[in-house]
Chains A and B, each alone.
Chain A
Amino acid sequence: MAKEKMQIMVCGGTTCSGKHGEMVYDNLKLELEANALENEVNVVRTGCFGLCKSGPVVKVMPGEVIYTGVKPDDAKDIVSSHIMKGKIVERLLFTDPESKKPLTTEKDLSSQKKQIRIVLRNCGIIDPENIDEAIARDAYEALGKVLTEMKPLDVIKIIKDSGLRGRGGGGFSTGLKWEIAYKNKADEKYVVCNADEGDPGAFMDRSVLEGDPHAVLEAMAICGYSIEAHKGLIYIRAEYPLAVARLKTAIKQAREYGLLGKNIIGTGFDFDIDIRYGAGAFVCGEETALIHSMEGLRGEPTVKPPFPAEAGFMGKPTNVNNVETFACISPIILKGSEWFASIGTAKSKGTKVFALAGKINNVGLIEVPMGTTLREVIYEIGGGIRNGKKFKAAQTGGPSGGCLTEKHLDTPIDFDNLIAAGSMMGSGGLIVMDEDDCMVSVAKFFLDFTVEESCGKCAPCRIGNKRLHELLEHITKGKGVPADLVRLKNMCHVIKDTSLCGLGQSSPNPVLSTLENFREEYEAHVTTKKCPAGQCKDLMEYFIIEGNCVGCTACARVCPVGAITGERKEPHVINPAICIKCGACMEKCKFDAIIIR
């Protein structure tokens, strides 16, 4: 084979570009041209390498050599030394902070990256419809180990020691949950996988089921062995047709391979899995409601105790875990509890998948160790706020959570810190808001959702949330009075204290947390009747600054309702009584004469 062509990759991620990464790219091209090498060496821009702290990053192939902290002037050395003489430019290599030795290749630098993929280890990498590919990446190895070498209590001990906590939101110790289910003796027990992912903006469970269904099946079988259950059920929403189809294929293939069903891996252990469909009710993510829904009853929660581990599905001991929790199990068995416990913070171990959404550049799924700060998530991995705007808040925990603000940017994210900050982990949706978002409207948006999703069983949630929503509606329409803020807060506490299940107990959180962190915005709405972010239509007014208006008539011509009048070459005026606040005039004006006030 001919000698491999040399190629240079330049990181075009937001952080690297911000540190003159573009100039590095340009200079490399110029330098190659100067040496008549532009046809010999290929230079391309790439996405983020995940080494943002050490950017800009340049990678040279073949050899996968990574240069960090490259300045535009360094292009000369890279070309003259590495490209022309094959001599690596030592001074641009990354120095390992511990060993003080230079790290050369991408592989060496792996541990410097912020993200670790445990849950998402196979997503997008294997063909989910081919069980061989999953097996090639260690699927079912942990199950084999558990069934042949371990007793149920050994497995429970490993999971307990690993410090794994439920990823569905509550953060209860998974090992402890298994232990309780193990200790409750019964002729039949059940393992349930909660795939009723309902938080707006969160889709990690769907991705895992679509990309790596065997991770969940294997973990459910391991759980079954540990709590002495022989039946597994996956409760998944019917709105996830692709996940359902891939799960079905995976279950079928696992049965054919003898990895599910009777006598698994020849060990005599029986375990089979079936799918149950949910109709997409948010409350069915709550475990008692989920179990009722599976039994064919209305999806309504009941009082705990009894906990599902005592009397769950069909009155039998049942262990319910979330998809992401299950996806952590096999690596823990294979790599040990110490390995898992070494990742994360003192009380929150391992990694967490977040679904980044909202006003952020890199929307999508990320997986970071617990304890990563919000700043790292938003500005490094997330690529910063869209259009260079200012960060205002990030909602975690979906409609049950609260918002984190600028003062929380450097707080390590884990279960306990989020609760201390007035929010919660939830399932890991992270919705980012910028300076243009009105926090009262944000709270109203989440309440919209809860009002819609409340099952109606208990009065505080059914009626209380509705009234909360009405109050917020009033405030955003400019009809609020200062006393409303007190009423809001009181009502929130009543709903929280008296609701039956997690839905009602947490639904006022978005209101409480925005009220706490952005009180001045609420006050502006109720006192001066202004929306500082300019989002609440009823509280704003388009206005023409006389001095800036040249009378070009562009705005008057574009106005769909004829609200703008004025003579040619004379300042125009908007009649607020006619204006429908569509904003067309503001877009059209070339002289910045139209403002919102």
Chain B
Amino acid sequence: MSTIKSPADLKKRKAEFLEKMNRKEKIRVRVHLGTSGQASGAKEIFDFIRLELEKRNIEANVISTGDLGYSFAEPTLEVTLPGKNPVVYGNVDKLKADEIIEKYIKNGEYVDGILPVNYQVIN
């Protein structure tokens, strides 16, 4: 990757990445894998989701991120369906993860345990 040579270059890089992300139209799953996430078993959920999506032939991008700060509801994960706002689920065990795949990821049908955005975002 070449280095960024000017602020305009940085803007270009940003635009390119955003465009690439939007173009993909892929299902995105982010498992919150910070220290508190890992302590509550998020790694297991991360592996489970990866494996099960593959088994069930669902093409998706599964990534790990830092914690959201919802320690009381960990493990947490976020699902973004193409063209939709991200939805965060809390207290996800394997059973819940399975339900999320079957209902939400496959059919867009919400399941219990959603953690709405309870804060103002600045950008």
**A contact residues vs B (CB 8 Å cutoff):** 4-5, 7, 9, 11, 42, 44-50, 59, 61, 64, 106, 110-111, 113-118, 120-121, 123-128, 130, 132-133, 135-138, 140-141, 144-145, 147-148, 203, 206-208, 210-212, 240, 242-243, 246, 256-259, 265-266, 331, 335, 361-367, 381, 383
A7-B110, A46-B116, A256-B1 as given contacts; A207 in contact with B123, CB under 8 Å = no
A257 — which chain B residues lie within 8 A by C-beta?
A: 1, 3-4, 13
Closest residue to B35 on the A side, CB-wise? Answer: A242
CB of A347 to closest CB in B, whole Å? 22
- Which A residues are in CB contact (< 8 Å) with B112? 44-46
The answer to whether B17 touches A135, judged by C-beta atoms less than 8 angstroms apart, is yes
Q: Are B32 and A124 in contact (CB under 8 A)?
A: yes
From B4, B111, B122, A331 is in contact (CB under 8 Å) with: B122
Q: Which residue of B lies closest to A64 (CB)?
A: B85
Residues of chain B lying within 8 A (CB to CB) of residue A59: 116
Residues of B within 8 A of A127 (CB): 30, 63-65
6 more A-B residue pairs beyond the given contacts A124-B76, A141-B11, A266-B9, with a C-beta to C-beta distance below 8 A? A44-B111, A50-B116, A106-B117, A113-B118, A125-B78, A207-B67
**A117–B121 CB distance below 8 A:** yes
Are A11's CB and B7's CB within 8 A?
no
Instruction: Determine the chain B residues whose CB is within 8 A of the CB of A145 once the complex forms.
Output: 7
A residues less than 8 Å from B34 (CB atoms) = 124, 206-207, 210-211, 242
Shortest beta-carbon distance, A21 to chain B, in Å?
13
Given known A-B contacts A123-B67, A144-B7, A211-B67, A136 and B18 have beta carbons under 8 A apart:
yes
- Given that A124-B69, A331-B122 are known contacts, is A44 also in contact with B110, CB under 8 Å in the complex? yes
Distance A106 CA – B84 CA, assembled complex (angstroms): 14
Chain B residues, CB < 8 A from A331: 122-123
Contacts of B108 in A (CB 8 A): 4-5
Q: List 19 A-B contacts (CB under 8 A).
A: A7-B110, A44-B110, A44-B114, A50-B116, A59-B116, A113-B118, A117-B122, A118-B122, A123-B66, A123-B67, A127-B65, A132-B13, A135-B10, A145-B7, A206-B35, A242-B34, A258-B3, A363-B71, A364-B70
Report Cα–Cα, A130/B63, bound state, in Å: 10
B53 interface contact, C-beta 8 A: no
Q: Quick one: CB contact mask for B11-37 with A, threshold 8 Å, 1 for yes? A: 101100110010000000010101110
Q: Is the CB of A138 within 8 A of B66?
A: no
B contact residues vs A (CB 8 Å cutoff): 1, 3-7, 9-11, 13-14, 17-18, 21, 30, 32, 34-36, 38, 63-73, 76, 78, 85, 90, 107-123
Query: Shortest CB–CB separation between residue B18 and chain A, in angstroms?
Result: 5
Q: Is the CB of A266 within 8 A of B6?
A: yes
Q: What residues of A have a CB within 8 angstroms of the CB of B114 in the complex?
A: 9, 44, 46-47
Asked if A115 and B120 sit within 8 Å, CB to CB, the answer is yes
Inter-chain contact B65/A128, CB cutoff 8 Å: yes
Do the beta carbons of B65 and A266 come within 8 Å of each other?
no
Bound-state Cα–Cα, A5 to B13, Å:
37
How far apart sit A243 and B14, CA to CA, in the bound complex (Å)?
Answer: 25
| Min C-beta distance of B115 to chain A, whole Å | 4
B7 in contact with A141 (CB, 8 Å): yes
Q: Which residues of B contact A363 (CB under 8 A)?
A: 71-72
Q: Is B5's CB under 8 angstroms from A266's CB?
A: yes
Answer whether A49 and B5 are a contact pair too, CB < 8 Å, given A44-B110, A124-B65, A210-B35. no
Identity of the chain B residue whose Cβ is nearest the Cβ of A334 in the assembled complex: B123
What distance in Å separates the Cβ of A55 from its nearest Cβ neighbour in chain B? 12
A47 touches B122 (CB 8 A): no
Q: How close is B39's CB to chain A, nearest CB, in angstroms? A: 11
Contacts of B38 in A (CB 8 A): 242
Q: Which residue of B21, B66, B108, B112 has the most chain A CB atoms within 10 A of its CB atom? A: B66
Chain A residue nearest in CB terms to B5: A266
Chain A residues positioned under 8 Å from B90 (CB to CB): 47
A435 → chain B closest CB, angstroms = 21
Q: Report yes or no: A367 in contact with B119, Cβ–Cβ below 8 A.
A: yes
**Which residues of A are found within 8 Å of B71, using beta-carbon distances?**
363-365
| A61–B110 CA distance with the chains assembled, in angstroms | 10
Known: A135-B17, A203-B36. A265 touches B5 (CB 8 A): yes
The complex places the Cα of A47 from the Cα of B17 at a distance, in Å, of 32
Chain B residue contacts of A246, Cβ below 8 A: 66
Q: Are A116 and B122 in contact (CB under 8 A)?
A: yes
**Closest Cβ–Cβ distance, residue A58 to chain B (whole Å):** 11
* Least CB distance, B30 to chain A, in whole angstroms: 7
How many angstroms between the C-alpha atoms of A259 and B11 in the bound complex? 13
Contact in complex: B115, A47 (CB < 8 Å): yes
Q: Cβ of B66 and Cβ of A124 under 8 Å apart?
A: yes
Q: Smallest CB-CB separation from A381: which chain B residue?
A: B118
B14 touches A265 (CB 8 A): no
Assess whether B21 is in contact with A136, with CB atoms less than 8 Å apart: yes
A210 B67 Cβ-Cβ under 8 A: yes
The 10 closest A-B pairs by CB, nearest first: A211-B66, A258-B3, A50-B118, A365-B69, A124-B68, A115-B119, A144-B7, A364-B71, A266-B5, A46-B114
Residues of B within 8 A of A133 (CB): 17
Question: Bound state CA distance, A406 and B67, in angstroms?
Answer: 31
Q: Which residues of B contact A44 (CB under 8 A)?
A: 110-114
Separation of A145 and B119 alpha carbons in the complex (Å)? 28
Q: How far is the CA of A7 from the CA of B108 in the complex (A)?
A: 10
CB distance from A46 to the nearest CB of B (A): 4
With the chains together, A469 CA to B73 CA distance in Å? 36
Q: Given A4-B108, A127-B65, A364-B72, are A110 and B121 neighbors across the interface (CB < 8 Å)? A: yes
